[in-house]
Homo-oligomer: A and B are copies of this chain.
Amino acid sequence: MTEVCIGIDIGGTNTIFGLVDKNGRILIEDSIRTSDHEEVEDFLKALASKMNQTISEISEPIELKGIGIGAPNGNYYKGTIEFAPNLKWKGIIELVKMMKQYFPVPVFLTNDANAAAIGEMIYGGAKGMKDFFIVTLGTGVGSGFVINGNVVYGHDGFAGELGHTIVKENGRDCGCGQKGCLEAYASANGLKRTVCELIAKHSYSGMLKDKSCEDLSAKDIDTAARKGDTMALEAFEITGKILGKSLANTIAITSPEAIFLFGGLANAGKLILDPTKKHMEDNLLNIYKNKVKLLKSSLLEENAAILGSSALVWNELESL
């Protein structure tokens, strides 16, 4: 009998899930469209049905130990999704309670970045580490902190929003309503905005000149930078400078062993890691210099969401 849990990642468009064993082997996975369901009740009914169907397709005998869910604005303490801007379901959604009606097993919920941190700790590069954090550099910027071996949920379950710390006074508009958030600079979208600013500022006839700000993608900028386009390279330098300074300030608070970068922008590798590392070190107090590892997450992006959510279960069951 293989002990498994189900990791679920709820995104604005798709919800993916998979059965995962303790070693991080994904036995099977599938998905449904989140955005097809106007009501959370319909969504959960469809999801549970697809999960049961998927479970029935597995030939080896399994024992389901629990369900872990990563979701935007997921509140660990309350098992709720609260006012998630990218989901159709408004207000406070009692997701854990509702899920337990379909599957009477332990169900845990947190936000996607915390799930990624736990995934890194259970299956990835943070194995054995007690103090680290992960920064997810995707469409937005998320973060998950582990201190003394425990995920930091904070008093209300919403800790770890490094993406919404303010890094520029009167800076760029952020989707959250504030100005100058890290997310407005260090996300894939932030990188695009930096390129657009640079193109507006300088005379430039490089390979990105014909793209509108709308059409430009982080992938285009990555490709251009690899071909030596100076504007694209400068955009990575600026992004790394802002991110590196923010990481330096965060180190002064938490003094971690390592920081993991994850998600779209992290895939740019040295293009983003090198300037980030340089500016991080340049802005560190002496006692922290050359101590903190800056690493790319070792989880594959296509697996990380499921692995992270499933790891939440193993982590909880172990600490019981």
Contacts and interface: CB of A to CB of B under 8 A. Distances in A.
A288 B162 CA distance: 13
A285 interface: yes
Contact of A254 (B152, B177, B249, B291): B152
Given A148-B148, A166-B248, A287 B256 contact: no
B158 A245 contact: no
A14 interface: no
A92 to B, nearest CB: 12
A245 B166 contact: yes
A241 B158 CA distance: 24
Interface string A161-201: 11011100000000011100000000000000000000000
Contacts of A166: 245, 248-249, 283
A180 to B, nearest CB: 9
Contacts of A257: 155
Q: Is the interface of A mostly helix, strand, loop or mixed?
A: loop
Contact of A156 (B145, B157, B255): B255
A317 interface: no
A154 interface: yes
In which size bucket is the chain A interface? 35 or more
Interface in A263-320: 283, 285-288, 291-292
A166 B143 CA distance: 20
A159 B254 contact: yes
Contacts of A245: 166
A86 to B, nearest CB: 14
Contact of A150 (B148, B154, B160, B162): B148
A256 B286 contact: no
Nearest to A176: B285
Contact of A177 (B131, B255, B286): B286
Contacts of A157: 255
Nearest to A169: B245
A250 interface: yes
A199 to B, nearest CB: 23
A123 interface: no
B252 A161 contact: yes
A238 B7 CA distance: 48
Interface of A: 73, 82-83, 130-132, 143, 145, 147-148, 150, 152-162, 164-166, 176-178, 245, 248-250, 252-257, 283, 285-288, 291-292
5 contacts: A147-B152, A148-B148, A154-B256, A158-B255, A164-B285
